[in-house]
Amino acid sequence: MTHHESKPDFPTPESAPAHAPNIVLVLLVIFIVTSAAIVRGSLKVELPRAAAGGAKVASTLNLVLDKGGALALDGRPTTPPRARAELQAAVARNPGAQAVIAADRTVPYGKVMEVIDLVKGAGVSGFALDVERAP
């Protein structure tokens, strides 16, 4: 009979560094989800529903159009020219900056397209449209 060495059923100190990326990833996801919820929670917006909402991007910039069509950037009311300047400054600091655009379902499609053009024109590398999953 030969002796077979078995692996322990618990993590060993030698394997701890291998788990660090997983822990960091989980913390990052928690941060992204809570920060988007905090910004959205401070503004009254009824998001459109989608059967298959896409994955949210790791956002650094949150733009919201409320029912009246007023624009907010990261929870602060703003105007399109000011938003463009702030977005350009954010891209200058972080060329990989991304944005999440949320709009009340009653906002006309054209207004949402204006915000998308504003984001693209400011040089933001990627954006996502925020939706609620349909129940």
Domains of the chain: 45-133 (3.30.420.270)
Tokens of 38: 């905090």
Q: What is the mean pLDDT of residues 114-134?
A: 83
Q: Identify the burial level of 28 via C-beta atoms within 10 angstroms of its C-beta, where 0-12 means exposed, 13-18 middle and 19 or more buried.
A: exposed
Beta strand pairing call for 49-50 and 132-133: parallel
CB 116 within 8 A of CB 101: yes
Confidence band of 58 (pLDDT split at 50, 70, 90) = very low
Residue of higher predicted confidence among 19 and 24: 24
Q: What is the mean pLDDT of residues 103-132?
A: 86
* Rounded-to-integer distance, Cα 122 and Cα 97, Å: 11
Strands (DSSP E) along the chain, which ranges? Answer: 49-50, 61-65, 71-73, 76-78, 98-103, 126-129, 132-133
Q: What is the pTM of this model?
A: 0.56
Q: What is the mean pLDDT of residues 49-58?
A: 49
For the chain, the maximum distance between any two Cα atoms, rounded to a whole number of angstroms, is 79
pLDDT at res. 27: 76
Residue of higher predicted confidence among 104 and 26: 104
Residue 129 has pLDDT above 60, yes or no: yes
- In this structure, how many other beta carbons lie within 10 angstroms of the beta carbon of residue 72? 19
Q: Give CA torsion, residues 73, 76, 80, 82, to 10 deg.
A: -100
Confidence band of 30 (pLDDT split at 50, 70, 90) = confident
Residue 78 has pLDDT above 90, yes or no: yes
* Rounded-to-integer distance, Cα 135 and Cα 127, Å: 24
pLDDT at res. 59: 44
CB 104 within 8 A of CB 46: yes
pLDDT at res. 60: 72
